[in-house]
Amino acid sequence: MNLPATLSAFEWVPDFARGHVRDLRVRWACEEIDRPYDAVLLDATRPRGPDYTCWQPFGQVPAWREGTLSMFESGAILLHLGETDERLLPSDPQTRWQAISWLFAALNSVEPYVGPLVDVRLFHADRPWAEDAFATFRPAAEQRLTQLSDAIGEREWLAGPFSIADIAMATVLKDVSSMNLLDGFPTLDAYLQRACARPAYARALQAQLDDFRDQPKAT
């Protein structure tokens, strides 16, 4: 029996960030296993106070509470949810640890390489140094995407069956895809399209979008 669960998320972000905030990862996992939760919506335009930073020390989202259990960071929450249901994390040891390895790879070996490109293009595009910075970061990102494409090859999912690893990796690649950086990586583009075609993804995305206000709260 599932305990009541609470997920933190933002109540407003700019249009370009909608569908990219990391609570989407947790929402997606919950949709895959029919796990109910209540969303606690925060004002992204204001600093979070100690009542929140005692839950999420960096003031970010998502954070998760389940009964007396409290945690933060999307990867940790995905791993916890995977522990509760084999549809997210298989019990076979080899498959399980491959999925966990790929979960860490998405967050530690891929996202740090593509993240700077996303930050420059979305948040600093008007700065005079933006294009030079983008050009500087791009070769390392493309090398990492090439390695990922080679590793995926013809497999459908990263570790055999669909898992938390695919939720993490697909959301990382979605950020890259928004800048057309997957145009030269048909294997990765096809993988992302498979992931985003899952009904649970569509439900999770809609849940996130439905929670956003049209405008930020007046200051």
Percent of the chain with pLDDT over 70: 99
Domains of the chain listed by start with CATH number: 5-87+201-211 (3.40.30.10), 93-198 (1.20.1050.10)
In this model, does residue 9 exceed pLDDT 80? yes
pLDDT level of residue 34 (50, 70, 90 thresholds) = very high
What pLDDT score was predicted for residue 126?
87
pTM for this structure?
A: 0.95
Q: What is the DSSP string of the chain?
A: -PPPEEEEEES---GGGTTTSTHHHHHHHHHHTT---EEEEE-TTS---HHHHTTSTTS-S-EEEETTEEEESHHHHHHHHHHH-TTTS-SSHHHHHHHHHHHHHIIIIIHHHHHHHHHHHHHSTTSTTHHHHHHHHHHHHHHHHHHHHHHHTT-SSTTSS--HHHHHHHHHHHHHHTTTTTTT-HHHHHHHHHHHTSHHHHHHHHHHHHH--SSPPP-
In this model, does residue 219 exceed pLDDT 70? no
In this model, does residue 178 exceed pLDDT 90? no
Quote the mean pLDDT of the chain.
Answer: 94
What tens digit of pLDDT does each residue of 184-206 get? 999 999 999 999 999 999 999 99
What pLDDT score was predicted for residue 133?
93
Instruction: Average the pLDDT over 11-22 and give the result.
Output: 91
In this model, does residue 217 exceed pLDDT 80? no
Return the higher-pLDDT residue of 205 and 218.
205
pLDDT level of residue 177 (50, 70, 90 thresholds) = confident
What pLDDT score was predicted for residue 179?
80
